[in-house]
Structure 1
Amino acid sequence: MFAIRLKVWVVKFPHLELEMALQSVLKQFQSQLVTTVHDQLLEYNTLFLFLLLILPLVILILLKQYLLKSEHKLNLPPSPPKLPVIGNLHQLGTLPHRSLQALSHKYGPLMLLHLGSSSTLVVSSADMASEMVKTRDIVFSNRPKTTAANIFLYGCRDIGFAPYGEYWRHARKICVLELLSMKRVQSFTYVRLEEVEILINKIRLSCFDGGIIDLTVMLQAVVNNVVSRCVLGRKAEEENGPGKFGVLSRRVMILFTAFCFGDVFPSLAWLDVVTGHIGRINTTFKAIDALLDQVIEEHRTSNGDDVDDQFDKKDFVHILLQLQKDGMFEIDLTQNDIKAILMDMFVGGTDTTSTTLEWAMAELLRHPNIMKKAQEEVRSVVKNKAKIDMNDIDEMNYLKCVIKETLRLHAPVPLLVPRETSTITKLGGYDIPEKTRVFVNAWAIQRDPKLWDRPEEFIPERYVNNPIDYKGLDFHFIPFGAGRRGCPGISFGVATVEYTLANILYWFDWKQPGGAIDNDKLDMSEVNGLTAPKKFPLRLVPTLYSP
């Protein structure tokens, strides 16, 4: 502080009282002036500190406004009107693939939605899917990280949900060359034969008392066991019901698709803790993690020499541990990485396969003439043999057409596994911002009347002498996706579907309970989940076929 000095000229007055009064007034003025200047300096200091604190916030607000203006300058795809906070969440409905198909009719094949805090692009045409995969596949090859996938798949160290990059490329290479190659799929033939034989024997027993069976549950059990034995070397389902792994895997499937606040509103992730959702995920994860550790340890301590020279007896755990032991990995796979890959194989290979079988049987029941034609082919190929072998399947061309048509009308994962853009890009002439979540509505594409004749009808004949296939090259038929992120387990899953369906068509005739003959009224409602299975299970009456 500085001092203010006032030079006071004192005038000599004849009267002492007047002189003293004048000096008092001058002193009072000097004091008030010093106080006023001091107060003003304090005000200036306070204002300076306030500006110093508020300036960063102002800069952030201005920067955000600038970025928003920049985004508005982008040529974004059309969007339906949105509500505050939730955006377009309310428009998804209970069956998102159907709701999004209806919206695409109004807003076009590329549509930008705002689902909570995330921007989501919906691709609903074969042309746009083709452009995305053929010209910009790398940009669209990332995966959004969800809470459940992050926990159950060890930080997304699997193949299906891992972010695009070096680790994913090496892990997928291991999967394609070592776990899901055609040679490996054929090596698991004995597993399919044994598990399907158990299924046929169970159904055969029910034929003797004319009972109703829950075919949906039986198909889930046989598929779970085939996948579990190939992956872990042990069954998921026992004679008297699901085993420990079967119970835990079903919990995983449910929790994988349960609503999670943090995935839609990151700032509300704490609600997942409050509601107990995170607790349920962690409890299930710890149990299944301990089980996987036990399985891996059993494989390590068992006499591996028994299977080292038997290519067709090795499960996925054997294969991965052997590759690790021989130093064949191009990357260092930890135990958690191995467990993530094993979980991926199970999650990706069970519900998708059993759901396809369920829908195939439902469609055949609704179309008795198609059912009869498929059975006649299977029975003419097998003749009077005691068992169907894999060579027989190769001759069942109409059966393959039935499976293709099932996959067209009932894509196992209707919106495929979501992708995410790694940088800003263009698609269909529109700007697609970085970190945009991407859904490809395969269900809508495969029912597009511009691409398919009578698209809502079940017509297997459309594939006779038609080279169209589901392996990702024909973009109007992509039930398993396409491009770098296409499903690597197509051969594995289809082999199980073909062999199981051929057997239940060969050995049994089927009808609905009560002798219902109006098969058109079979309820074909679906529910949304990890896949889109029938809402109501297939409860049927089998009759043993006598050649």
Structure 2
Amino acid sequence: MANTHLYSLLVLFLLVLAFKFLLPTGKKRKNLAPSPPSIPIIGHLHLLKQPIHRTLENLSTIYGPIVFLRFIASTNYGDHWRNLRRICAIEIFSSSRLNSSSGIRRDEIKQLARRLQQVSSNGFSKVELRSMFTDLTFNIVMRMIAGKRYYGEDVNLTEEANTFKETMKEYADLGGLTNLADVFPIFQCVDCNGFVRKCVGLGERMDLILQGLIEEHRRDKDRNTMINHLLTLRAGFSAGILHGRRT
């Protein structure tokens, strides 16, 4: 079975080489930055090795500060993506929005300092900071988004928090895997190792969590959270469309 896959990849590789060098191309690349040698289909994907920043530093040392790299992943860039980028820049990551949640960050840092004080109250003791910093980061993000804390010892929403943490762990586990079809499009019709099925199931569970948070905020509109802010923007946008249709 392994030999069959190997032969298939070799045949595919030869076909790509044939199309690349024997068929005429309608346009030529001009004025591009220096580029390292690439491989058909996957481009420069094979060059991305951990740690990524060291790899990019080595490439810039050889080819200069601007390097042209090709990857297989792409998406259509149109009005929808431009609108999402504008919303992220202005309504989510703007200085005013981040400053409005500075109290949340201060409060979570105080709680972290309090936990460290409790651990060391009886003398010197070892502390595993990675998990504490993970709790700190997730709690800051979730309080900014939904006004809830899911991590730490003083969490009240135990069942909801456990569901969220399990989903995040599965998301992290899947993020470390590679779908063969993403690298070799010829395998898109095959769900290798159930990767697509797992992603679909994870997406459905994530949708349930997010939809539950949205419904909560639709009932309670007084929370100073990102979800309520985006719901307000959506209501204003919808009202503007209706007004435009009427006029």
- After TM superposition, the score normalised by the length of structure 2 is 0.71
Match of 1:206 in 2: 119
Report the equivalent of 1:290: 208
Is the helix fraction higher in 1 or 2? 2
Q: Which residue of 2 aligns with 1:301?
A: 219
What are the within-5 Å matches in structure 2 for residues 303-452 of structure 1? Answer: 304=221, 307=222, 313-327=223-237
Structure 1 residues 260 and 189 mapped into 2: Cα distance closer, same or farther (>3 Å)? same
1:113–1:167 CA distance, 2 compared to 1 (3 A) = closer
How far apart, in 2, do the equivalents of 1:85 and 1:176 lie?
34
Q: State the distance in 2 between where 1:180 and 1:113 align.
A: 28
Structure 1 counterpart of 2:23 = 65
Q: Is the 8 A contact 2:41 2:183 kept in 1?
A: no
Does 1:217 find its partner at 2:131?
yes
Shift of 1:225: 0.5
Aligned residue in 1 for 2:10: none
Aligned twin of 2:106: 193
Which contiguous aligned blocks of 4+ residues in structure 1 show a shift greater than 6 angstroms? 328-332
Q: Which runs of 5+ in 1 are unaligned?
A: 1-60, 119-142, 146-162, 308-312, 333-547
Is the 1:323–1:329 contact (alpha carbons within 8 Å) kept by the matching residues of 2?
A: no
Instruction: Find the counterpart in structure 1 of residue 79 from structure 2.
Output: 166
Deviation at residue 292 of structure 1 after TM alignment: 0.7
**What residue number does 1:268 align with?**
187
Q: What is the deviation of 1:206?
A: 1.2
Whole-angstrom distance in 2 between the partners of 1:114 and 1:184? 35
CA contact (8 A) 1:170 1:331 kept: no
| TM-fit CA distance, 1:97 | 2.9
- Identity, in percent, stands at 28
Shift of residue 170, structure 1, vs aligned partner: 3.1
Mapped contact 2:180–2:192 kept (Cα < 8 A): no
Between the aligned partners of 1:108 and 1:224, the Cα distance in structure 2 is: 38
CA distance in 2, matches of 1:329, 1:166: 20
1:83 Cα deviation after fit? 5.4
The 3-state SS of whatever aligns with 2:196 is helix
The SS at the match of 1:212 is coil
The 1:84/1:330 distance shift into structure 2, 3 A limit, reads same
For 1:327 and 1:76, the matched residues in 2 are separated by: 41
The SS at the match of 2:120 is helix
SS state at 2:81 partner: helix
How many Å separate the matches in 2 of 1:175 and 1:113?
A: 26
Q: Which amino acid aligns with 1:292?
A: L
Deviation at 1:88, TM superposition (A): 4.5
Is 2:151 the counterpart of 1:237? yes
Cα distance in 2 for partners of 1:91, 1:323 equals 42
Relative to 1, partners in 2 of residues 1:297 and 1:67: Cα closer, same or farther, differing over 3 Å? same
TM-score w.r.t. length of structure 1: 0.35
Other structure's SS at 1:276 match: helix
Report deviation, 1:298: 1.5
Q: Secondary structure at the match of 1:67?
A: coil
- Which residue type is aligned with residue 223 of structure 1? T
C-alpha change, 1:180 and 1:212, in structure 2 (3 Å) is same
Cα pair 1:78 1:111 within 8 Å, conserved: yes
Distance in 1 between the 2:40 and 2:79 partners? Answer: 39
Contact 1:299 1:318 in 2 (8 A): yes
1: CA distance between counterparts of 2:41 and 2:88? Answer: 41
Give the aligned residue type for 1:239: E
- Cα distance in 2 between the residues matched to 1:256 and 1:329: 39
| Cross-structure match for 2:4 | none
Q: 2:64 aligns with which of 86, 100, 108?
A: 108
Q: Of residues 83, 86, 98 in structure 1, which corresponds to 2:54?
A: 98
Matched AA of 2:202: T
Letter in 1 for 2:80: Y
Find the aligned partners of 2:96 and 2:41 in 1 and give their Cα distance: 51
Flag the structure with larger Rg. Answer: 1
How many pairs are equivalent? Answer: 218
Cα distance in 2 for residues equivalent to 1:196 and 1:228? 14
CA shift for structure 1 position 74: 4.6
Q: Which residue of 1 aligns with 2:167?
A: 248
CA distance in 2, matches of 1:330, 1:166: 18
Q: Which residue of 2 aligns with 1:359?
A: none
Choose between structure 1 and 2 for higher RCO, CA contacts under 8 A separated by at least 6 residues: 1
Unpaired stretches in structure 2, ≥5 consecutive residues:
1-18, 156-160, 243-247
- Native 8 Å contact 1:88 1:114 kept in 2: yes
Q: Is the 8 A contact 1:296 1:317 kept in 2?
A: yes
Partner Cα distance (2:50, 2:213) in 1: 38
Aligned mates of 1:331, 1:255 — CA distance in 2? 39
Report if aligned partners of 2:60, 2:67 keep a CA contact under 8 Å in 1. yes
Residues of 1 paired with 2:102 and 2:68: CA distance? 45
1:144 to 74, 85, 91: 74
